[in-house]
Structures are given as structure tokens and as C-alpha cells.
Amino acid sequence: MINFIRYMFCVIWSVLMITLSIILMIILFNRKLPVVMARTMWAPGILWGCGIRLTIHNDGFDTEKPHVFVSNHLSYLDIPVLFRAIPSNLYFIAKKEIQWLPFVGQYMMATGMLFVNRDNKHKAILSLKKAARLVGKGKSVLMFPEGTRSKDGKINPFKKGPFHLAKDAGVSVVPVSISGTDKVLDIHSGKLTPGEVRVNIGKQVNPDEYPVIQTLIQECQNRVEKMKAQ
């Protein structure tokens, strides 16, 4: 019963916040407002509803500049947790299927977030080029370079997309580790269990110092794995 109540709260809160943010965006002609509301209102509400105790360690990054944040991926709760933990307005690049989810898809499209067709390499490349222009306009992007949620908690090999994006946009990569969200929201049963979630935000990595893309990828993955193990 408590699990059902937690789920219903999260659904109702999400619908309420998404609807309100889109209405205010239209009235005030401010496309950034829904992103700010997601970070300062929606995400804290979801964490409270799920009983998440959030611990954050931040090594420091230049908050005045855009970055490409890369994080391991454990749960659907990673998004509200990272919205709350990272002190920057974040834009997501998500798989195309999400744009058809009620409310969530409309919210992401309205706020200018991007979708990637992972089944079509050409369209995926075009999406990353659009993302590079987004970052070039001063907006930070968050991506999950594993491509999907980990089923066993281990970090899977990172894909190239986010790192090509950082190089094309001429911005730093900020590695992020997250742990505990898979314990709060069980990937197999869907049960919600209140608990601690830890986010480590590492120091930014300059892609220009890594001429070989695979070396950049490995460096960032090593940092995420090391932070997650702490």
C-alpha cells in the first residue's frame, strides 16, 4: 500500500509540475523556466516522495560555462536525482521512444531537449550535431554514455557519442557517478524502498588534452568507476 502511495504521489506531482511549467513557459515566453522548475521543484518533490536521502560530493566545475555531463545509469530515478544534485540547468539527450511518453515527452519537446534514434546511425549523428549547437548556445547537456540502464549495477562500456559532442562543441566533459538509485527503485520488481543515494561530481576534463577519442572515453569511464567505488 505504501509503495502504491509513493508511486501515485510521483505520478501526480510530475503531471502537476509538467503542466504548470509548460503553462508558465507559454505565458511568460520563457523556455528556460521549465528546466529551472525541474531542478528546484519537481526533482526535490520526487526525491521526497521516494524517500531518497541524497548525499552530494562536488569536486568543482566552472558553473559559468556549458559542459557535457556524463554519468553511469542505474534507474529511472537517476534523472530527478541528477537534476537536483548538479548545480546547473541540464538538457537531456534521450532515446526517441521517450518522446511518446505522456506528459514527459511533451515536456522534453517543449523545453528544447533532444531525442536520438539509436537504430539509425545517420539520424543519431544529426541529433548529436543539434546537441552541439545547443551546447554552443551555452546550455549544459547530460548524457548516459552506457546507452541504457545497468542491470547489475556494474558500469558498462561507454559509447562515443557524448565525447564527440564535447569535442565538436569545444566544451569540457564532467564525469559524474551515481549509486543507490537501483536500490531505491528495484529494476526487476519495481518496488520503491527509501534509502541513501550518493552522487559524485568530478573535475572537468578538457577533450583537447586527449587527441584520441578512445583515450578520452577511457579516462572519463575510469573516473566514474573510481568515484562510484568510493
**Domain regions of the chain by residue span:** 53-229
CA atoms in the 13 A half-sphere facing the CB of 200: 15
Residue 83: predicted pLDDT:
93
Residue 30: predicted pLDDT:
87
Residue 122 has pLDDT above 80, yes or no: no
Q: How confident is the model at residue 48 (pLDDT cuts 50, 70, 90)?
A: very high
Does the pTM surpass 0.85? The reply is yes
Report percent pLDDT > 70 for the chain: 94
* Residue 92: φ, ψ to 5°: -100, 150
Residue 69: predicted pLDDT:
96
Q: How confident is the model at residue 107 (pLDDT cuts 50, 70, 90)?
A: confident
Element (H, E) at 122: helix 121-136
Determine the distance from the C-alpha atom of residue 190 to the mean position of all C-alpha atoms in its chain, rounded to a whole number: 20
> For residues 35 and 42, what is the distance between their CA atoms, to the nearest angstrom?
10
Summarised one tens digit per residue, pLDDT across range 160-210 is 989 988 998 899 999 999 999 999 998 888 889 999 999 999 999 999 999
Which has the higher per-residue pLDDT, 111 or 177?
177
* Contact (CB, 8 A) for 81 and 47: yes
Q: Could you give the 3-state DSSP secondary structure of residue 56?
A: strand
Cβ-based neighbours of 94, under 8 Å, separated by 6 or more: 108, 113, 114, 115, 116
Residue 84: predicted pLDDT:
94
Candidates 3.30.720.200, 3.30.43.10, 3.40.1130.10, 3.40.50.880; correct CATH number of 53-229?
3.40.1130.10
Residue 120 has pLDDT above 70, yes or no: no
Average pLDDT for residues 126-143, to the nearest whole number?
81
